[in-house]
Structure 1
Amino acid sequence: MKSASTLTYTNANKAAWNASAHLHGQGSSWDALLLAASQPGFNVLGNCLTATLTDLGVAGRSAVQIGCNNARELLSLAALGAIPALGIDQSSEFLAQGAVLASKAKLNPRLLEANIYEIPTDVGQHDLALITIGVINWMPDLQGFFKAVRGLVRTGGHVVIYETHPILEMFNPDAANPFQPEISYFEKSPVKIEGAITYDGSDGGSGETGYWFLHTLGEVVTTCVNSGFQIQRLEEHPHLNREEDYASYENRPAQLPLCYTLVARAI
């Protein structure tokens, strides 16, 4: 059962994402995504994640994506031969966009509006659970999150996480000195997100207040293991997988880790 504070945060984050969805379902980027989804081999996963999933051997495997947003990544799994069976997200507005993209791609995954802490009992178990950029930081309860993930994966199946490295949360790319840490790596208070949520770092205007949680890499790995997974791979990468305004942190003489891949097997 969720605590009152977890419920407060997740409800706030749901409102924040629904309030921001209209920014992503219009304009040239959306039009390009619609066109791409209608083409054979549609894949927005990028080289790093595509290589990880290919090496894992996901062809013919049933997949669920947690925090699937508009399902563009879930649908992309079909290009690797996987079965995009289930996408879970709190935002009904983004899932409506996902239904449009799925129709363009001629795929029919179940797109489920649900809080990850209150997953219904009829979702089954899958061979692959995919978690990508930004999902973990919206989670106020890391232990409850990974418990839910484990429930979605059959024994012997895998979870693949491709996330922004938590060390990057220490820095503000818009600061006068963007390489001076502004927040502790070990900060536990949630960060308020006041404006509408955009992917390109642009100003989306006003929005509902959301809450962003900082989890260290050690916490992510330990909680994953304690939830019934065996780590098979943890790789930190120098390349960027988040908003473009963080690009100044790439290609430095003294390079920060900017993202990571975690692959773990359900035991």
Structure 2
Amino acid sequence: MNIKTYTESNREAWNEVNPIHQKHNPIQLSEAFQAKGYSTLDEHITRTFLRLGLQGRNVAQLCCNNGREVLSLVNLGAQSGTGFDISDHAIEEAKGLATTSGLPCTFVRMDVYDIDSVHSNQYDLIYISIGALTWLPDLNKFFKIASTLLKKGGLLVIYEMHPMLNMLAMEDEPEFEDPMKIAFSYFKSEPWINNIGIDYVGNTTYESATNYSFSHTLASIFNAVIKSGIHITEYEEHNHDISCIFTHLEKEAKLPMSYTMIGKKA
């Protein structure tokens, strides 16, 4: 199956779920972002961005969903923000939030694999956050595009779920026996295929459009970033969960649950 078949199926699934997320979101973002300095970013990544410096930077987020993190980065001091996402509905929500907040943010409905040269060398920082990489069938192509978007010396910041968690089954899966028992191969190469919805906000299930997600090893992520011409300067693993799936395992403190990777374009 080619990349476009995967991504267009996922586009349909994200268009289905975004109205469900809006319904279940406990925060009215259109009101929240009218407050100066409001941010949806957690304490760890906020400290990271403030340490790296946002002032005067043009930032972009690939797979930005409804734009809340792009808006947060600008509220924290970035000069401007641009978000790219495949979901028509999510981008419409993001545009609405930008309008009501008055923040200098632009949102583009686009498959990240189709981002063209008009955006090349435009950004000082690119952010990739939780849940982005799993939807991407080809990391080498993705990070090559991300690299072209960065100015020379620009920063790549990734804050994602640790790939080791892909080995664990969730309670509603037939492979589940124990929360800590390995159920799937770390080296799983075929995609996960889902038809019961992707509502991680309300945790509802429904008959959804077929969507495809992918397991990526740390080696595949590291190598794709390196091959893109981005030099990895920092890597840190964390024992806190940012996936909203495995929070119940935080108390075990036995697994890396998330990570931060920072790179700089040569």
Matched, 1:194 2:190: no
In structure 2, the partner of 1:222 is 223
In structure 1, the partner of 2:159 is 162
> Alignment partner for residue 136 of structure 1, among 115, 133, 136?
133
Q: Secondary structure at the match of 2:220?
A: helix
Query: Structure 1 residue 40: deviation in Å?
Result: 1.1
Partner Cα separation in structure 2 for residue 233 and residue 63 of structure 1: 19
Q: Secondary structure at the match of 2:50?
A: helix
8 Å contact kept, 1:24–1:30: no
Q: Secondary structure at the match of 1:242?
A: coil
Partner Cα separation in structure 2 for residue 117 and residue 71 of structure 1: 18
Q: RMSD between aligned alpha carbons?
A: 1.5
In structure 1, the partner of 2:93 is 97
The within-5 A match list for 1:1-267 is 5-27=2-24, 29-31=26-28, 33-124=29-120, 125-174=122-171, 175-200=176-201, 202-243=203-244, 245-252=245-252, 255-267=254-266
Partner Cα separation in structure 1 for residue 2 and residue 233 of structure 2: 33
Query: Structure 1 residue 38: deviation in Å?
Result: 1.4
Measured against aligned partners, the alpha-carbon deviations of 1:16-43 in whole angstroms (never above 9, x if no partner) come to 1111111122355252x22211111111
Partner Cα separation in structure 2 for residue 200 and residue 91 of structure 1: 17
Measured against aligned partners, the alpha-carbon deviations of 1:70-113 in whole angstroms (never above 9, x if no partner) come to 00000000232112331100111001111121122211322111
Q: Secondary structure at the match of 1:251?
A: helix
Aligned length: 261
Partner Cα separation in structure 2 for residue 142 and residue 266 of structure 1: 17
Structure 2's unaligned 5+ residue stretches are none
TM-score (norm 2): 0.94
TM-score (norm 1): 0.93
Query: Structure 1 residue 200: deviation in Å?
Result: 3.5
Structure 1's unaligned 5+ residue stretches are none
8 Å contact kept, 2:61–2:128: yes
